């Protein structure tokens, strides 16, 4: 039994594997998002920056910041037996984790509305789809995300266990009912409703493209289909990546979340999926977007 449970580099085998996966996600994500930002930030002289590119740039900035701020600090939980990074980092990484998730889903919602206007209301799109409106939208997305995530920063705090002399970074709500309301609101407004809005926009876009396909030039048709395809894949990947995270939070609030080997694996998988979402978006753009 002692040989089976032997730690690797001073930590358990499960934690070691988790750190390897985190490291791969971090490296791929930082390189990929940096490349996307470099490509999109270099706009050609005299060429207008498209609204789609502004939203993709915003998504990549949010993803890169998320990877840089969250993964290195969160990794310490799997390496060290106690929290050593202080109260500010404890609040900040959990706050920014939520901010980044909300910025991603709100940006994807904006991108799907942008596609809807471009394809279904193409005559009015030139007046609506201008850089200024997209930048205003991006500003609103960040402001809304910072505001919605603020309860996380407020309720995240350090707890010291005297018996084992350990410090933990945990969320504490004096009124458990308030936490239940917040978890449900985050799920509804930060996941469910945006995905429903996105689904509605895509249903309209696909229906419109199906009707108008014969009247389009081959180049225009291919370009519109490719952009719609890119955003659709990004949205589907987001939906899958963040679902386990919301399931765990709802399960913990409205059920009894078991502390077993299987539940540990589920929590780690949820973490890895959430982190990997910030790494796979650049790969999707590279294969599907006309800008790469």
Domains, the chain, with CATH or none: 13-288 (1.20.1070.10)
The average pLDDT across 118-145 equals: 86
Task: Give 67-93 pLDDT, tens digit per residue.
Answer: 888 888 878 877 777 888 888 988 998
Burial class (CB in 10 A: 0-12, 13-18, 19+), 175: exposed
Residue 27 has pLDDT above 80, yes or no: yes
* Residue 162 DSSP symbol: T
Question: 231-278, pLDDT tens digit by residue?
Answer: 678 778 888 888 998 888 888 888 777 777 777 788 888 888 888 888
Q: What is the dihedral of CA 85, 89, 90, 92, to 10 degrees?
A: -170
Confidence of residue 135 (pLDDT cuts 50, 70, 90): very high
Q: Is the dihedral of CA 270, 102, 51, 223 positive or negative?
A: positive
Task: Pick the closest to residue 35 from 227, 290, 279 (CA basis).
Answer: 279
Distance of CA 274 to the CA centre of its chain: 6
Tell me if the pTM is above 0.95.
no
pLDDT, tens digit (0-9, with 9 covering 90-100), for 182-234: 999 999 999 999 888 988 888 888 788 777 766 666 666 666 667 667 767 87
């Amino acid at each position: 039994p002692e040989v089976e449970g032997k730690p690797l580099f001073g930590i358990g085998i499960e934690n070691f594997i988790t750190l390897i996966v985190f490291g791969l996600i971090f490296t791929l994500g930082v390189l990929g998002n940096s490349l996307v930002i470099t490509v999109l930030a270099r706009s050609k002289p005299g060429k207008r920056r498209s609204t789609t590119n502004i939203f993709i740039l915003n998504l990549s900035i949010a993803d890169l910041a998320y990877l840089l701020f969250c993964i290195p600090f969160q990794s310490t939980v799997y390496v060290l037996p106690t929290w050593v990074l202080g109260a500010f980092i404890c609040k900040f990484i959990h706050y920014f984790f939520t901010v980044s998730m909300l910025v991603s889903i709100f940006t994807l919602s904006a991108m799907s509305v942008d596609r809807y206007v471009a394809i279904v209301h193409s005559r009015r799109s030139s007046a609506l789809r201008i850089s200024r409106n997209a930048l205003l939208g991006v500003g609103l997305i960040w402001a809304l995300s910072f505001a919605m995530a603020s309860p996380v920063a407020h309720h995240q705090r350090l707890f010291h266990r005297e018996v084992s002399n350990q410090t933990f970074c945990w969320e504490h709500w004096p009124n458990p009912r308030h936490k239940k309301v917040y978890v449900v609101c985050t799920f509804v407004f930060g996941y469910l409703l945006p995905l429903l809005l996105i689904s509605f926009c895509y249903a309209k876009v696909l229906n419109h493209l199906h009707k108008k396909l014969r009247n389009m030039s081959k180049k225009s048709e291919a370009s519109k289909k490719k952009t719609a395809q890119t955003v659709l894949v990004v949205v589907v990947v987001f939906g899958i990546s963040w679902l386990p995270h919301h399931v765990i939070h709802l399960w913990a609030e409205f059920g009894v979340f078991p502390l077993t080997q299987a539940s540990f694996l589920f929590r780690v998988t949820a973490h890895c999926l959430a982190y990997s979402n910030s790494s796979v978006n650049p790969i999707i753009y590279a294969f599907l977007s006309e800008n790469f």
